């Protein structure tokens, strides 16, 4: 039986967790931390006194969130899920300000969804990934890379349910949104946006292309699957994606061409695999 490696169900590896944020399979990007414990008591009091009510509310929720996020990063998902539901979500729901409220509901429900994905509870994961779209306009914003990353996660959850046709739409949309965001970043006045940020977006898109290729393979759309892998591979090499991303693309190229009996294409992908050694 053919084994295709790109879809790993570990929530922490998923967001194949993408650039810093996408390392949700990326685990969620941690919100800004509160002042470090290196400050003196006097300094801490001064800083706290200067916080606005909204900043203080965000800091209070963030302190609880960080402890739960640490559990998730340690792959202690049952404990993390319980704490998200019993601590972070109730605090966020009671928040007086819209940004902290939406921010931590987004992060908490995404954390639970990532855990569900790692536990192969795909239908439950999909439901929560769909839910967090409602928080996104307030935080982090639909122009943020978390938007296409979440679309990609919906597609992966549907693939886990072997709902291949339904997985196409969010994966295709994720790729399109990544195209738009990459174009914007590449023409930014900011050097960081043109280089590091644009390449992080490309890496996240490579993962989406890889997953959509697997989805097409399952639908026996072999030519389209290989075309997507070629696109992902070319972009990954050109913009220096991490070797783990390139390796997944190559291993899936080998698997698909072997399964379809395309000897010429299989030889090409095998050479690429050798070049990675």
What are the pLDDT digits (tens) for 177-218? 999 999 999 999 999 999 999 999 999 999 999 999 999 999
CA dist., res. 276 & res. 36, Å (int): 42
Digit-coded pLDDT (tens) for 65-103: 999 999 999 999 999 999 999 999 999 999 999 999 999
Domains along the chain? 1-14+43-136 (no CATH), 142-277 (1.25.40.10)
pLDDT one-digit tens code per residue, 260-273: 999 999 999 999 99
Total Cβ atoms within 10 A of residue 141: 10
- The 10 Å CB-count burial string (b at 16+, else e) for 179-191 is eebbeebeeeeee
Q: Rounded to whole angstroms, how far apart are CA atoms 29 and 36? A: 18
Q: Which of 54, 18, 52 is nearest to 174 (CA)?
A: 18
Is the pTM here over 0.75, yes or no? Answer: yes
Name the packing angle between helices 146-160 and 164-186 (round to 10°): 160
Q: For a pLDDT cut of 90, what percent of the chain falls above it?
A: 82
Closest CA to 180 of 202, 158, 208, 209: 202
Question: Nearest CA to 173 among 141, 203, 211?
Answer: 211
Give me the chain's average pLDDT, please: 87
**Tens digits of residue pLDDT in 29-58:** 333 333 333 333 334 444 556 899 999 999
């Amino acid at each position: 039986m053919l084994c295709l490696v790109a879809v790993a169900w570990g929530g922490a590896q998923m967001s194949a967790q993408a650039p810093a944020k996408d390392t949700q399979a990326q685990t969620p990007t941690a919100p800004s931390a509160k002042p470090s414990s290196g400050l003196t008591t006097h300094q801490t009091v001064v800083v706290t006194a200067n916080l606005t009510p909204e900043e203080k509310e965000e800091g209070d929720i963030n302190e609880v969130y960080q402890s739960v996020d640490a559990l998730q990063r340690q792959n202690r998902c049952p404990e993390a899920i319980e704490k998200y539901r019993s601590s972070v979500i109730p605090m966020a729901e009671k928040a007086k300000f819209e940004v902290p409220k939406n921010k931590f509901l987004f992060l908490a429900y995404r954390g639970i969804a990532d855990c569900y994905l790692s536990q192969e509870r795909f239908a439950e994961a999909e439901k929560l990934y769909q839910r967090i779209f409602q928080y996104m306009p307030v935080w982090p914003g639909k122009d943020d890379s978390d938007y296409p990353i979440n679309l990609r996660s919906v597609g992966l959850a549907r693939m886990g349910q072997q709902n291949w046709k339904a997985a196409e739409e969010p994966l295709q949309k994720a790729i399109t949104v990544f195209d738009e965001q990459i174009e914007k970043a590449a023409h930014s006045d900011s050097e960081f946006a043109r280089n590091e940020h644009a390449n992080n977006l490309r890496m996240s898109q490579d993962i989406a292309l890889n997953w959509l290729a697997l989805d097409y393979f399952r639908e026996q759309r072999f030519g389209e699957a290989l075309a997507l892998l070629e696109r992902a591979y070319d972009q990954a090499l050109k913009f220096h994606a991490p070797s783990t991303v390139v390796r997944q693309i190559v291993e899936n190229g080998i698997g698909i061409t072997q399964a379809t009996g395309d000897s010429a294409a299989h030889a090409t992908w095998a050479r690429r695999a050798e070049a990675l050694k």
